[in-house]
Amino acid sequence: MNQKPLKYILLYGLSGPIIALNVWILSLLIGYLKHPLSLLCIAAILAFLLNYPVKFIERTRINRTQAIIIVLLVTLTLLTVLGLTLVPIVIEQTTKLLNDIPNWLSSSQTNLKLFSQWAEQRHLPVNLKEISYQINANIQTLVQQFATGAVGFAGTLLSGLIDLILIVVLAFYMLLYGDKVWLGLVNLLPEKSRIPLTNSLKLNFHYFFLSQVLLALFMTVTLTPIFLLLKLPFALLFAILIGISQLIPIIGASLGIGLVTILVLLQNWWLAIQIALVAMVVQQIKDNVLAPKLLGDFIGLNPLWIFIAILMGFEIAGLLGTIVAVPIAGTIKGTFDAFNNDKNRSMVSNMTNIPDSDFNE
């Protein structure tokens, strides 16, 4: 009589520590292999996206290998053009922005002192001395960080170029042999889980990344001329920053707009208000007009679970983790939903096949 309760107590009591231990070991493994895993994930995302034009070209009776070569040559050409035109401008603006931030912080500290004096003259309960001291400490820290980071900038740029070459090469091989590798991995799983997992993975990853990239391009292309018209310093850099932040689901664009607004606020509060309003209007157009058509509700996750997935992804793999967390969570949910639907169908079919004599008994 007491064996079953004891069995369940041991089962549920030990499952928690075992799961925690596995998660801890997995986090250590991911941390140790973070760089190669990041390259593989980025290459896989690139292969996902490039697979669309490859399939389109295949419709013109060109074999897959030739289509892949054409797409990669076009991609390399575009990357080369961007590397010769857009990237130098972004690097120049980034370097100038990093050099100007200490001056912006100094000017904001002066504005805070003036505002504090104005508040004291009118006997307003405002004390900004601690904020002023904090800004002064931040200035010293930023100056030290910029001096240290400038030394390794050339090495970082060279490392990034090597990583880009590796990503393109990996994406090329994934396009060529990805289907065979995937079939080999899927065949290791139980037979019932192969089709649901494959369908859920395609649905979440393909549509999610394609939609996020298109929305990021929309934000960047739309905001760049607007920022230039408003005579915003570093307009291209700030527009790209907001566009890249859009890759983070739900909260990404808001974080990018908030960061840009804070940076501009250090220099010009009126321009910061204009930038924030314009960016939020564009964001609302993106969220309410474009996003529903591109994304729909194919992920089907509750917003709370999306936030939890983003936080867990950031804790495990940083920025890349926040980008892939939502489609991974959507894949897991879609797979379990497929299992439940299959179980419900089998139950219904079994019930409909029961003879009438069994009910009469």
357 pLDDT band, cuts 50/70/90, is very low
In a domain, 83, yes or no: yes
The answer on 200 and 166 residing in a single domain is no
CA distance 189 to 297: 28
3-class DSSP assignment, residue 249: coil
345 pLDDT band, cuts 50/70/90, is low
In this prediction the pTM is 0.70
In a domain, 323, yes or no: yes
The answer on 162 and 51 residing in a single domain is yes
Q: Which of 188, 221, 247 is the last residue of a domain?
A: 188
The answer on 100 and 133 residing in a single domain is yes
At 144 the pLDDT is: 57
In a domain, 353, yes or no: no
Q: For residue 51, give the H/E element and its range.
A: helix 34-58
At 239 the pLDDT is: 92
What's the one-letter identity of residue 111? N
What's the one-letter identity of residue 306? I
Structural domain total, the chain: 2
Phi, psi of 176 (to 5 degrees): -75, -45
Tell me which residue has tokens 């934000």: 219
The answer on 280 and 161 residing in a single domain is no
At 172 the pLDDT is: 87
The answer on 114 and 201 residing in a single domain is no
State the residue range of the domain holding 163. Answer: 35-188
With beta carbons less than 8 A apart as the criterion, state whether 45 and 70 touch: no
CA distance 153 to 172: 29
pLDDT tens profile 54-64: 888 988 888 88
With beta carbons less than 8 A apart as the criterion, state whether 50 and 72 touch: yes
In a domain, 177, yes or no: yes
User: Helices (H) and strands (E) in the chain — how many of each?
Assistant: 13, 0
In a domain, 183, yes or no: yes
Torsion angle of C-alpha atoms 46, 50, 52, 57, degrees rounded to 10: -170
Nearest to 235 by CA among 269, 271, 285: 271
CA distance 331 to 30: 20
Note the helical H segments in the chain: 3-32, 34-58, 64-121, 129-151, 153-186, 191-201, 207-229, 235-245, 252-265, 269-285, 291-294, 303-352, 356-360
The answer on 216 and 302 residing in a single domain is yes
Among 33-42, 72-81, 108-117, 252-261, whose mean pLDDT is lowest? Answer: 108-117
With beta carbons less than 8 A apart as the criterion, state whether 160 and 113 touch: no
What's the one-letter identity of residue 346? S
- The rounded Cα 136 to chain-centroid distance in angstroms is 33
CA distance 164 to 166: 5
The answer on 240 and 175 residing in a single domain is no
Phi, psi of 234 (to 5 degrees): 60, 40
With beta carbons less than 8 A apart as the criterion, state whether 116 and 127 touch: yes
Q: Which of 188, 220, 238 is the last residue of a domain?
A: 188
The answer on 205 and 307 residing in a single domain is yes
Portion of the chain with pLDDT greater than 90, in percent: 8
User: For 204-213, b where at least 16 C-beta lie within 10 A, e where not — what string?
Assistant: bbbbbbbbbb
The answer on 195 and 95 residing in a single domain is no
Q: Of the ranges 240-249, 277-286, 322-331, which is most confident?
A: 277-286
At 359 the pLDDT is: 37
The answer on 41 and 181 residing in a single domain is yes
Rg for the chain, CA atoms, rounded:
27
The answer on 42 and 164 residing in a single domain is yes
With beta carbons less than 8 A apart as the criterion, state whether 320 and 41 touch: yes
In a domain, 58, yes or no: yes
pLDDT for 354 beyond 60 = no
Portion of the chain with pLDDT greater than 70, in percent: 71
In a domain, 359, yes or no: no
The answer on 222 and 201 residing in a single domain is yes
pLDDT for 170 beyond 80 = yes
pLDDT for 311 beyond 90 = no
131 pLDDT band, cuts 50/70/90, is low
In a domain, 251, yes or no: yes
Q: Which of 188, 212, 243 is the last residue of a domain?
A: 188
Q: Which residues, 6 or more positions from 250, have their beta carbon under 8 angstroms from its beta carbon?
A: 303, 306, 307, 310
